């Protein structure tokens, strides 16, 4: 199962959850506001994306920070700030697939989560077609 980390009110998180539902992929939401985040989670995702990518500089929380905090941000202070204010974590973070993702891009999600499924379906249809041509006496009910 895929876990989507974010905030349920976030439009991008809503889009992500809708995309998974539309594509028949089970996903659960880990809501930062309800479930929280801890240092272990940040230690897990920071090496995957880098601390700069984890900071959501488009958020209201970021805009409300004082300039000194924004200008003096480094790895240590950024991770401490993300722990204090989880709404600063860029969303969504998606874990549980073959590759971790941050943000939402429909094409990236399709390539990662549907590429192999579509390939398998295409191969199955081709195999079925070949069998029907090779053995015309069988019907689809035989499969």
Annotated catalytic residue, options 4, 7, 10, 54: 10
Q: Is 114 a catalytic residue?
A: no
Task: For residue 123, give both structure tokens.
Answer: 């191969």
Question: Rounded to 5 degrees, what are φ and ψ at 16?
Answer: -65, -50
| Positions marked catalytic | 10
């Amino acid at each position: 199962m895929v876990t989507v980390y974010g905030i349920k009110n976030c439009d991008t998180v809503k889009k992500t959850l809708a995309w998974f539902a539309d594509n028949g992929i089970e996903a659960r939401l880990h809501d930062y506001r309800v479930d929280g985040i801890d240092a272990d989670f940040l230690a897990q995702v920071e090496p995957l994306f880098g601390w700069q990518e984890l900071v959501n500089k488009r958020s209201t929380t970021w805009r409300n920070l004082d300039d000194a905090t924004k200008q003096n941000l480094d790895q240590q202070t950024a991770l401490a700030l993300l722990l204090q204010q989880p709404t600063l974590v860029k969303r969504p973070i998606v874990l549980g697939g073959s590759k971790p993702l941050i943000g939402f891009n429909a094409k990236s999600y399709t390539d990662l989560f549907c590429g192999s499924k579509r390939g398998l379906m295409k191969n199955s249809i081709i195999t079925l077609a070949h069998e029907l041509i090779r053995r015309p006496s069988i019907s689809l009910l035989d499969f």
